[in-house]
């Protein structure tokens, strides 16, 4: 099927040009960043015009200079912000770490026997569908607006995706791999380290991504609703004080924190699981 | 033979049920025998459940909550699919918009609640918008990925058969990407439920979440736990219900394989 005859295709011309622009942007990092920044300026211009022409919106949305000067200018030099960033990040990472360990252990235990998972299935499914923020009143009642309450809520929520992904990762290991290892008399710890761990790796990566998003949502949500400290609390506080530029600036910082967390995890995943992606890609093509 | 099969089925049911029943019994006995203001007897929680949620609470709190959830999630899913398809067909724009999409996806939706309350006031519109916002991103990103994963030959074939744009959309792109879109919809349902509760805990006057918070404030712990149980039940049925719907919608794939 390699003998394609190149016929002139009038309809194809725009697609071709578009394809060329796409290839160019994909392969030239500098050009891509310049184009993205230009787009950012366009967004800012549209936003400024929106505010300028609609005073009712302007009451609740800061102008760009106000956002930069009153917003970022005020909060970036405020030690309270950095304390908040530290608190939110600490709760998120601590909750994530506990969830990962706990979820992995229980997930592996549940995969020992088919009946173990079947027995636990209903409890797991019910617990994991309780919307996590609903537990905030319960947490407030039992533990008060403390870091311990925040981390507990995060773990109660984020442990389920880890547990399920690890469990299915273990169950779906190719039995031939395990049998081969056993007939070569490879000791258990080496089997776990060199066969089970890499096989579960990809689904563990998925769990990590899902849980990290949940953890940040929970941390910020708890702080906003329950009060206490952290970035969520700061946003609520600025909004109630009607300090609009500061509110927006803090929200943007929350978003940037989320982006940083995601990119960090994606970077780690690429380093540790790059072999998996290459392998699946090779298998597909 | 049939006797053995029934025996197997009975055993399966027993295996699936013993742990939930055991947990329930332990909680029941523990809360009844050791009185604690935080953990009221389970019997009282269930009595409250019947009294509140099957009585006046149904129309006062449950229905408004569910209505916001349904509206928000539907708006989010429809917008996510439509814009996702458009974005997947315009790869240059997808490339340019990527950092901004990443930013908004990473921004936890709940943090926008104070802003929405300020701009729109404490009404259902701000709640629906928040839920729609949260439901939008997973659907959008999964739609883009799903459509990009469709083999280009399939689209070229459709084009050479002169399918109309609408037919390509409804008969090629949407079914081809649906397994992936479905993952996004599943995520958006649970995010929607989370945001529904969140929007009722912060500056609200009704809804299940509001009831739970208020019950906690007046130390009506039985009422509080009954609300939490109700939210779990809603979440469970949402998840089970969508699984059934998904299986129906994807039945054609089993035939094709």
ipTM of the complex model: 0.81
Token pair belonging to B153: 């030959």
**pLDDT mean across residues, chain B:** 84
**Residue A81 near residue A243 (C-beta atoms within 8 A):** no
**pLDDT mean across residues, chain A:** 81
Average pLDDT of the residues in B91-101: 86
Highest averaged pLDDT of the listed ranges B55-69, B204-218, B226-240: B226-240
> Which residues of chain B lie closer than 8 angstroms to A141, CB-CB?
38, 216, 221, 224
Residues A68-74: contacts with CB under 8 Å, at least 24 apart:
A69/A245, A70/A243, A70/A245, A70/A246, A71/A245, A71/A246, A71/A248, A71/A249, A72/A249, A74/A245, A74/A246, A74/A249
How confident is the model at residue B6, as a pLDDT?
79
Give the separation between CA A91 and CA A160, rounded to whole angstroms.
18
Q: Which residue does chain B place closest to A222, by CA atoms?
A: B198
Residue B73 has pLDDT above 90, yes or no: yes
Q: Nearest CB to A123: which of B19, B103, B235?
A: B19
**With the CA atoms of B186, B192, B194 and B200 taken in that order, what torsion angle do they form, in degrees rounded to the nearest 10?**
-160
Average pLDDT of the residues in A227-255: 88
Question: Which of A114-118, A217-221, A223-227, A245-249 has the least mean pLDDT?
Answer: A114-118
Chain centroid to CA B203: how far?
22
CB spacing of A138 vs B109 below 8 angstroms = no
Give the separation between CA B72 and CA B66, rounded to whole angstroms.
10
Bigger pLDDT: A163 or B256?
A163
A84 touching B, CB under 8 A?
no
Token pair belonging to A55: 């005073």
Give the separation between CA B66 and CA B61, rounded to whole angstroms.
9
**Residue A95 near residue A147 (C-beta atoms within 8 A):** no
Average pLDDT of the residues in A97-102: 92
Give the separation between CA A133 and CA B228, rounded to whole angstroms.
10
Average pLDDT of the residues in A203-207: 82
For residue range A7-64, what is the model confidence (pLDDT) as tens digits? Answer: 444 444 445 666 777 778 778 888 888 888 988 899 888 988 888 887 777 778 888 8
CB spacing of B232 vs A129 below 8 angstroms = yes
Of chain A, the end-to-end C-alpha distance in Å amounts to: 17
Residue B2 has pLDDT above 70, yes or no: no
Q: Nearest CB to B92: which of A25, A43, A221?
A: A25
CA of A120 vs chain B CAs: smallest distance (Å): 6
Average pLDDT of the residues in A98-104: 91
Q: Which residue does chain B place closest to A33, by CA atoms?
A: B96
**Residue A250 near residue A70 (C-beta atoms within 8 A):** no
Where b means 16+ CB within 10 Å and e means fewer, A61-71 reads: bbeeebbeebb
In angstroms, the Cα distances linking B12 to A115, B6, B15 are 9, 10, 5
- Listed by number, the residues of chain A in 196-255 with a beta carbon closer than 8 Å to a beta carbon of chain B are 213, 216-217, 220-221, 224-225, 231-232, 235-236, 239-240, 244, 247-248, 251, 254-255
> Which residues of chain B lie closer than 8 angstroms to A16, CB-CB?
none
CA of B91 vs chain A CAs: smallest distance (Å): 7
**Residue A99 near residue A162 (C-beta atoms within 8 A):** yes
Tell me how crowded residue B110 is: count the other CB atoms within 10 A of its CB: 29
CA of A193 vs chain B CAs: smallest distance (Å): 31
Average pLDDT of the residues in B27-34: 80
Residue A135 has pLDDT above 60, yes or no: yes
Among A134, A243, A254, most B C-beta atoms within 10 A, so best to mutate, is: A134
Minimal CA–CA distance to B225: which of B242, B241, B211?
B211
**With the CA atoms of A165, A168, A171 and A177 taken in that order, what torsion angle do they form, in degrees rounded to the nearest 10?**
-60
Give the separation between CA A222 and CA A273, rounded to whole angstroms.
33
Scan for tokens 């989320």, then name that residue: A258
HEC assignment per residue over chain B: CHHHHHHHHHHHHHHHHHHHHHHHHHHHHHHHHCCCCCCCCHHHHHHHHHHHHCCHHHHHHHHHHHHHHHHHHHHHHHHHHHHHHHHHHCHHHHHHHHHHHHHHHHCCHHHHHHHHHHHHCCCHHHHHHHHHHHHHHHHHHHHHHHHHCCCHHHHHHHHHCCCCHHHHHHHHHHHHHHHHHHHHHHHHHHHHHHHHHHHHHCCCCCCHHHHHHHHHHCCCHHHHHHHHHHHHHHHHHHHHHHHHHHHHHCHHHHHHC
> Which residues of chain A lie closer than 8 angstroms to B232, CB-CB?
126-127, 129-130, 134
How confident is the model at residue A3, as a pLDDT?
46
Scan for tokens 């916002």, then name that residue: B133
Give the separation between CA A66 and CA A83, rounded to whole angstroms.
24
How confident is the model at residue B135, as a pLDDT?
92
Residue A97 has pLDDT above 90, yes or no: yes
Give the separation between CA A89 and CA A220, rounded to whole angstroms.
10
CB spacing of A247 vs B115 below 8 angstroms = yes
Q: Would you place residue A90 in the very low, low, confident or very high pLDDT band (cuts 50, 70, 90)? A: very high
Bigger pLDDT: A2 or B64?
B64
Give the separation between CA A89 and CA A183, rounded to whole angstroms.
46
Token pair belonging to A71: 């917003």
Q: Nearest CB to B38: which of A131, A142, A216?
A: A142
For residue range B106-156, what is the model confidence (pLDDT) as tens digits? Answer: 888 888 888 888 888 778 888 999 999 999 998 998 898 888 888 888 888
Average pLDDT of the residues in A169-182: 83
**Residue B68 near residue B131 (C-beta atoms within 8 A):** yes
Average pLDDT of the residues in B232-253: 86
Give the separation between CA B132 and CA B112, rounded to whole angstroms.
12
B256 touching A, CB under 8 A?
no
Residue A283 has pLDDT above 70, yes or no: no
Q: Would you place residue A282 in the very low, low, confident or very high pLDDT band (cuts 50, 70, 90)? A: very low
**Residue B176 near residue B147 (C-beta atoms within 8 A):** yes
CB spacing of B38 vs A130 below 8 angstroms = no
Give the separation between CA A61 and CA A67, rounded to whole angstroms.
9
How confident is the model at residue A2, as a pLDDT?
44
Give the separation between CA B200 and CA B17, rounded to whole angstroms.
34
How confident is the model at residue A230, as a pLDDT?
86
CB spacing of B198 vs A126 below 8 angstroms = no
Give the separation between CA A106 and CA A123, rounded to whole angstroms.
13
Scan for tokens 């019950």, then name that residue: B215
Inter-chain Cβ pairs, chain A and chain B, closer than 8 A? 163
Percent with pLDDT over 70 in chain A:
90
């Amino acid at each position: 099927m390699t003998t394609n005859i190149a016929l002139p295709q009038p309809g194809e011309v725009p697609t071709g040009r578009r394809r060329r622009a796409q290839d160019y942007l994909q392969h030239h990092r500098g050009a891509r960043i310049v184009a993205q920044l230009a787009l950012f300026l366009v967004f800012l211009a549209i936003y400024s015009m929106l505010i300028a022409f609609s005073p009712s919106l302007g009451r609740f949305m800061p102008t760009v200079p106000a956002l930069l000067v009153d917003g970022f200018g005020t909060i970036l030099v405020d030690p309270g912000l950095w304390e908040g960033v530290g608190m939110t990040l600490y709760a998120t990472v601590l909750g994530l770490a506990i969830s990962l360990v706990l979820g992995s252990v229980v997930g592996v235990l549940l995969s020992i026997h088919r009946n173990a998972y079947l027995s636990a299935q209903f409890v797991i499914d019910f617990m994991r569908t309780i919307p996590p923020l609903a537990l905030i009143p319960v947490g407030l009642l039992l533990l008060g607006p403390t870091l311990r309450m925040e981390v507990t809520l995060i773990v109660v929520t984020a442990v389920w995706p880890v547990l399920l992904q690890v469990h299915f990762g273990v169950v779906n290991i190719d039995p031939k791999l395990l049998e081969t290892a056993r007939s070569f008399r490879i000791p258990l710890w080496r089997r776990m380290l060199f066969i089970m761990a890499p096989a579960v790796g990809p689904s563990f990566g998925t769990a990590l991504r899902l849980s990290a998003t949940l953890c940040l949502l929970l941390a910020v949500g708890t702080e906003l609703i329950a009060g206490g400290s952290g970035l969520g609390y700061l946003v609520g506080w600025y909004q109630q004080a009607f300090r609009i530029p500061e509110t927006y600036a803090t929200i943007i910082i929350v978003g940037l924190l989320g982006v940083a967390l995601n990119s960090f995890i994606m970077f780690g995943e690429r380093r540790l699981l790059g072999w998996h992606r290459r392998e699946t890609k090779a298998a597909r093509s | 033979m049939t006797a053995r099969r029934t025996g197997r089925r009975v055993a399966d049911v027993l295996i699936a049920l013993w742990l939930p029943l055991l947990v329930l019994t332990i909680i029941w006995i523990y809360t009844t025998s050791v009185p604690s203001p935080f953990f009221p007897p389970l019997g009282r929680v269930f009595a409250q459940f019947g009294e509140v949620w099957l009585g006046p609470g149904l129309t006062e709190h449950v229905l408004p909550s569910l209505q916001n959830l349904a509206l928000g999630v539907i708006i989010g899913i429809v917008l996510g699919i439509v814009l996702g398809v458009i974005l997947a067909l315009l790869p240059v724009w997808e490339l340019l918009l990527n950092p901004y999409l990443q930013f908004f996806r990473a921004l936890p939706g709940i943090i926008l609640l104070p802003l929405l309350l300020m701009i729109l006031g404490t009404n259902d519109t701000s709640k629906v918008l928040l839920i729609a916002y949260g439901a939008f991103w997973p659907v959008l990103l999964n739609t883009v990925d799903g459509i990009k994963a469709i083999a280009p030959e399939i689209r070229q074939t459709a084009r050479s058969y002169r399918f109309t744009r609408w037919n390509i959309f409804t008969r090629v792109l949407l079914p081809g990407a649906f397994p992936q879109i479905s993952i996004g919809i599943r995520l958006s349902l649970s995010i929607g439920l989370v945001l529904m509760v969140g929007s009722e805990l912060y500056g609200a006057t009704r809804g299940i979440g509001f009831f739970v918070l208020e019950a906690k404030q007046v130390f009506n712990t039985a009422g509080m736990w009954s609300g939490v149980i109700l939210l779990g039940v809603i979440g469970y049925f949402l998840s089970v219900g969508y699984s059934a719907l998904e299986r129906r919608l994807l039945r054609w794939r089993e035939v094709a394989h």
